[in-house]
Amino acid sequence: MSTITQDSAPLPSSAPIVKLTAQVRSWKIPITFGAFAIASVLLFVGLGRGQRGELSTFRLSEARDFIQLPEVALPTFVTGVVVAIVLVLMAVASAWLVYRHRKIPIVLTIVFALLFLIGFLAWAASGSTIPVPGLLIGTVTLSAPLIFGALGGVLSERAGVVNVAIEAQLLAGAFSSAVVASATGNPYLGLLAAMVAGALVSMVLAAFALKYLVDQVIVGVVLNVLVIGLTSFLYSQVLAPSANLNSPDVFPRLNIPLLSEIPIIGPVLFRQTIIVYVMYVAVALVFFGLFRTKWGLRVRAVGEHPQAADTVGINVNRTRFIAVTLGGVVSGFGGAYFTLGAVGAFNKEMTNGMGFIALAAVIFGQWHPIKATLAALLFGFATNLQNVLGIIGSPVPSEFMLMLPYVVTIFAVAGFVGRSRAPAADGKPYIK
Amino acid sequence: MSDTTAAAPAPGPDPVPGAVKKDGSERWTQALRDITGGSAMISVLAVVLALVVGAVLIAFTNDRVQETAGYFFSRPTDLVGAVWEAVAGAYSALFQGSIYNFRAPNFFNAIRPLTETLTFATPLIAAGLGVGLAFRVGMFNIGGRGQMLIAAGAAGWVAFAVELPAGIHLIVAIVAGLLGGAIWGGIVGLLKARTGAHEVIVTIMLNFVALYLIQFLLRTPGALQAPGSNNPKTPPMAATAVFPELFGPRYNLHAGFLTVIAATIFVWWLLSRSNLGFQFRAVGQNPSAARVAGINVKNVYLYAMAISGALVGLAGINQVLGTVTTGFGAGIDAGIGFDAITVALLGRSKPWGIFAAGILFGAFKAGGFAMQAAEGVPIDIVVVVQALIVLFIAAPPLVRAIFHLPTPGTTKGPEIRDVKTRKTNEVVAK
């Protein structure tokens, strides 16, 4: 009771107002840095790979490039030792920064990651050549469905509807684009069909989540199972017996004049299929739509605080329905990559868990379209790195290379990103 | 309600609504409403609806049906007959493959499908319990695949590489598997508790890590690979470490089913009767409130994920020590880790609900294989039906709308009448 009487005293205290800040030390980043630094010392120095003076060559240009860059050859062992020393120093520096209650600049993290990557590539490519453009081209190509899926997830979750059904949207898009493109002989109609299929899956998700108030995670999981079952059933019953329903034309790679001749960037970004070009536009559009338009403000409002949005006259459920459906359109388009962009035929469960990785990219990217895209690119890079190293002969068993992206993600989620915050009303139906 | 009945002997008229006496007709209508609008009826109707949709799919993709549909207007009965033949054939094969085979020469053969159902249900129930337990704590465990693989690897290695007397060997193998699953699940709980890493990401990532780890071990001599073989496959399990058959060699059903019953009882006890289970449910309802109430939420995440992982691991153990004892590859999980999510959802994350849901899905699996063999209907239709069942059960208003069922608690419901009778009772008392 005494505190209350003090608080309600009419005169404010004359003491100066002191801003108190909680001194919280997070050792996550130094610990993660330390783990990677120790790993690099063990790998690059401890194993002694390339001690007989082998060179690691990085090829920066493709044979048909207009501007030819010279190959960069690094002595494997020396590079490894230098990188390991620098990484250890950076880990110590980060620990010192945390000890002194300073913030660790994001640049430090980026440089650390890049250095580790260079050291690893040099170590793995001892005595052989790494085609850098090839590595990056594959990264962009393999990331395309992940990025579309992640964008679809971001759109839906920003509006407050958890989208576990990305896998279903991708698979539905892959199936319908293959069937429609084969039946009509027009791959562009296939793309349209993929968008429609993704939107349909999303509408089911939205209807059950918004009208029948079913737990959104449940609907998402069930939709995944449902679409896997449906497409597999139809594949065995309809597509497998008559091959002419499952042989769509694959989109060719289109070279954009001039831009595709820029060293490194050109081949990587501007010698891709139309699906990848649409992806660039989609990333920009989703970012612009969500953060620079009135509609995006409404979507985010509905996802963060639906009651407040409702109070100012926004129709919560309609906004959510539209956002979720749009998300399905984007994800479904990404599904077309599997059939029209890569394989050229539909197969049972051909998305193979990509939808879940896209979901991980959404969370890893903190529900932000650009960050989610970067997260998806990381997965694509790691997958393609394993492919490339498999061709030039990797010193580590291929299983561990395959494992790498997932282990890195766990470290990243636990160390760098930490507690990622979902939109406040994510997964909660709004009842007036 | 038990408290109110205990208080009922107090003198004077009873104001508690539960104890209000109703005349026979009123009680009857309420019972009827409870049955038609209640969750049991919804579950049954959901199954019916899902089977109807499945029937439509079977009929549409049937060759004979498509053929007869071509001359529908000249002889419509042909189409009806073809549809009936396709659907009835498929569903009777499903039934005879999962419950009771009428064509079998004697009872012991006829009942064999039922034991197959229970065999298929065994790992589904175990994994479903694990996923359901995590749901109760508010966590989504999609890591069933990884936890099953690690558990299968650990239990399998003990079963073929270690020599122990019969009985003890089995127990040691089970414990090794449970530990493997618990560790793989516990990592998730630990990371969530200590760093706030989202369990959905970590479980998905650990699925892949486990898959590649097991693939590596399966092709490494001296680890899991069978000696003298180049295949990525383990040697057969030692006879001392295999679950004994429950009803003799005629049936595939093995003692693993008993471990699953024990696991169900354990989870029921844990959630409904134990201190830890109370903390689990409190955190699942509202972590912030639980923290304020003095519950160590971080430890709860760790324990819940470890126990969840161990239960999912039990599914892996059952696979290697019961179902596939001749050695296993990296596909030993057979998608059960994902099926378990639907099982847990169908069972509404309650232990005995999951048990029943697991048996239903086991029946679909057993019958689905029979249906594929007998009628040529792909087993994928079973997946569709299962998904639809869960979807419909999750949306009672949809099912009620389709069948024009009354909604419990509408204006004409008995609750209002209860209030009225209570009021009159109170007036009488005055």
User: Which of A178, A239, A185, A227 lies closest to A349 in space, CA to CA?
Assistant: A227
> Which structure tokens are listed for A301?
């409002």
Rounded to two decimals, the pTM is 0.83
Q: What is the pLDDT of residues B181-224, one digit of tens each?
A: 999 999 999 999 988 888 887 898 899 899 999 999 998 888 88
- Dist CA A57 CA A71 (whole Å): 7
Confidence of residue B49 (pLDDT cuts 50, 70, 90): very high
Cα–Cα dist A339/A152, whole Å: 19
Closest Cβ–Cβ partner in B198, B345, B378 for A413: B198
ipTM above 0.85, yes or no: no
Q: Which residue has the higher pLDDT, A272 or B37?
A: A272
pLDDT in tens, B152-181: 999 999 999 999 998 899 999 999 999 999
pLDDT band at B6 (very low <50, low <70, confident <90, very high): very low
Residues 229-268 of A with CB under 8 A from B: 229-230, 232-234, 236-238
pLDDT at B13 over 70: no
What is the predicted pLDDT for the residue at B420?
Answer: 42
Q: Which helix (H) or strand (E) holds A57?
A: strand A55-59
What is the rounded average pLDDT of the residues A101-119?
87
Q: CB distance B212–A225 less than 8 Å?
A: no
Q: Which two tokens stand for residue A180?
A: 């429609």
Q: Do B390 and A222 touch (CB under 8 A)?
A: yes
Which residues in chain B have Cβ-Cβ distances shorter than 8 Å to A208? 391, 394-395, 398
User: Domain ranges in chain B?
Assistant: 122-348
> Hey, what are A246's tokens?
């499952």
Q: Higher-confidence residue: A349 or B354?
A: B354
Per CB-CB distance under 8 Å, the chain B contacts of A407 are: 205, 209
The answer to whether the beta carbons of residues A202 and A366 sit under 8 Å apart is no
Residue B429: what pLDDT? 44
Give chain A positions within 8 Å (CB) of B382.
229
Task: State the average pLDDT for chain A.
Answer: 86
Mean pLDDT (chain B, rounded):
84
In the structure, what pLDDT confidence band is assigned to residue A47 with cuts at 50, 70 and 90?
confident
User: What pLDDT is attached to residue B12?
Assistant: 41
Query: Taking 50 as the threshold, does the pLDDT of residue A166 lie above it?
Result: yes
Alpha carbons within 13 angstroms on the beta-carbon side of residue A127 total 9
Q: Is the pLDDT of residue A129 over 70?
A: yes
pLDDT of the residue at B63: 82
Would you list the DSSP string of A81-146? HHHHHHHHHHHHHHHHHHHTTPPPPHHHHHHHHHHHHHHHHHHHTTTSEEEHHHHHHHHHHHHHHH
Token pair 């009021």: residue = B423
Closest CA to B181 of B160, B152, B223, B205: B152
Q: Does A403 lie at the interface with B, CB-CB under 8 angstroms?
A: yes
- Give me the half-sphere count of Cα atoms (radius 13 Å) on the Cβ side of residue B31: 7
Interface-testing mutation among A26, A29, A346, A403, with chain B (most B C-beta atoms within 10 A): A403
pLDDT at B11 over 60: no
CB neighbours (10 Å) of residue B76?
A: 12
Distance CA A319, CA B294 (A): 40
C-alpha A100/C-alpha A28 separation (Å) is 15
* Start-to-end C-alpha separation, chain B: 26
> Which pair of structure tokens corresponds to residue A327?
């998300």
**For residue B254, what are the β-bridge partners?**
B245
* pLDDT tier at A419, thresholds 50, 70, 90: low
The amino acid at B58: I
Helix axes A316-336, A294-304, angle to 10 degrees: 110
pLDDT band at A156 (very low <50, low <70, confident <90, very high): very high
Percent of chain B with pLDDT over 90: 48
What per-residue confidence (pLDDT) applies to A22?
A: 64
Given this model, what pLDDT does residue B32 score?
63
What's the whole-number mean pLDDT along residues A77-86?
90
A21 or A302, greater pLDDT: A302
Q: Per-residue pLDDT tens for A388-406?
A: 887 777 667 878 877 877 8
Q: Provide the terminal-to-terminal Cα distance of chain A, rounded to the nearest Å.
A: 39
Does position B29 have pLDDT exceeding 80, yes or no? no
Give me the mean pLDDT over the B313-332 stretch. 92
What distances in angstroms separate CA A118 from CA A142, A203, A402, A409, B43, one per listed residue? 21, 45, 18, 18, 57
pLDDT of A54 strictly over 90: no
A186 and chain B: CB distance < 8 Å anywhere? no
Contacts of B198 in chain A (CB under 8 A): 363, 413, 420
Give B275→chain A minimum CA distance, Å.
Answer: 28
Confirm or reject contact between B315 and chain A (CB < 8 A): no
- Residues of chain A with Cβ-Cβ distance to B191 below 8 Å are 410, 413-414
C-alpha A159: how far from chain center: 19
Would the pLDDT of B345 be above 90? Answer: no
Number of A/B CB contacts below 8 angstroms equals: 136
How near does any CA of chain A get to the CA of B129, in Å? Answer: 16
- Is the model more confident about A375 or about B33? A375
* Per-residue pLDDT at A75: 86
